[in-house]
Structure 1
């Protein structure tokens, strides 16, 4: 089954609506932690997730901490549950905007997912601009659902195993 991986809740919500409109039953994984900041490591591991949460607890102000830490724990729980449920029959489609946060997230995940899982990437900025011109979205969250579904047709072929290393 194809799993869409998107960075940020806005992109996740837009993609959910696009897939729902087309009655597509595919998984969506939303990565909300800004991996550009804080300790690095394999965020698919709970030890790294806890290390990042502790770091966020140190840098967030008290007002943001009360909501953000619980939310981050919940999203990491969903990420861990998804990782545990992987069967090896999946393929991943990454939606990546033209931002350091999304590039960093892509690199972290590509480095840590099993190499046997085929991946494809929709680079949101050039795909959108090529199709529609003018507006240049910096993230998948800036695209309305109707246009996200059209960009699906512009995805690159899936890469397998060793192809991902080059």
Structure 2
């Protein structure tokens, strides 16, 4: 059995659950990229893959993640190649894809499953959609992320495992292709597995609302956004968007505009601020 998750924190939780239940024994693989943001046009071609890498190079340039693309830290295409090799070599091998109800996991699900149709019947989905769990305080809650679930509660989740259906292998890749062809930069989850897309500047308006007339480190602005905004995304993506905003010359900046702890931002006095 091979388990696939989409967040690094999920790996630890799932490995702890495996220790509690030998029927879950298997390798845990991580899809690292965040397919809920960035270009996905021609995502399975060399040109599309390189276009996405170039976009990430721009996003991470001069910031906390600078150089990450070229250090080979993220190579999901190699992961899929190795996964297909294992499925081909062992006809008894199965894959369990773990997805919580969030845009990051669902976007990753679409990207991954669209490449595995040849192994229909051996690819399972565990979609934790509106399933209640018990937290550390003994209270019921609905997790948005797999890492929020206690390892012992993950044993309940395994009952959700089911093969991805023939219909899903027909419809879901078509839905993903439609999203790819829209050429927009942000994907949001409306409910179920329904993704909608927005422009890459989607988060800018709310991000601006956390920039005040007082000096704040970029890290504090981003942290406030992540704690208060209804729709959130990765901090490095937000750092890139913040840098795009301060380039409009309606903000004062001090420090080295590089890592999020290196510089401070505030609204310029007398400049009207759009919400």
TM over 0.5: yes
Aligned residue number for residue 27 of structure 1: 27
Report the CA distance shift for 1:18/1:116 in structure 2 as closer, same or farther (over 3 A).
Answer: same
Residues 32-85 of structure 1 deviation map (CA, whole Å, 9 limit, x = unaligned): 210011221676777654443222111114232346433633565444333333
Gaps of 5+ in 1: none
Do residues 72 (structure 1) and 73 (structure 2) align?
yes
The corresponding residue for 2:125 is: 121
1:108 match: secondary structure: helix
Larger radius of gyration: 2
The alignment partner of 1:165 has SS state of helix
Distance of aligned partners of 1:165 and 1:113 in 2 relative to their CA distance in 1, 3 Å threshold: same
Change (3 A) 1:156 1:85: closer
Secondary structure at the residue paired with 1:93? strand
Match of 2:141 in 1: 135
**Aligned twin of 1:111:** 114
If each structure's helix is expressed as a fraction of its own residues, which one has the higher value? 1
* Between structures 1 and 2, the one with greater strand share: 2
Does the 8 Å contact 2:100/2:143 carry over to 1? Answer: yes
Match of 1:83 in 2: 84
Q: How many residues align?
A: 162
Other-structure match for 1:16: 15
Equivalent position of 1:60 in the other structure = 60
TM-score by length of 2: 0.50
CA shift for structure 1 position 97: 1.1
- The answer for unaligned runs of 5 or more in structure 2 is 172-275
Q: 1:80 to 1:43 in 2, by over 3 A?
A: farther
Question: Deviations along 1:6-51, whole A, 9 cap, x unmatched?
Answer: 1111112211221133244312221121001122167677765444
- Bigger RCO of structures 1 and 2 (CA < 8 A, at least 6 apart): 1
Cα distance, 1:18–1:27 mapped onto 2, change above 3 Å: same
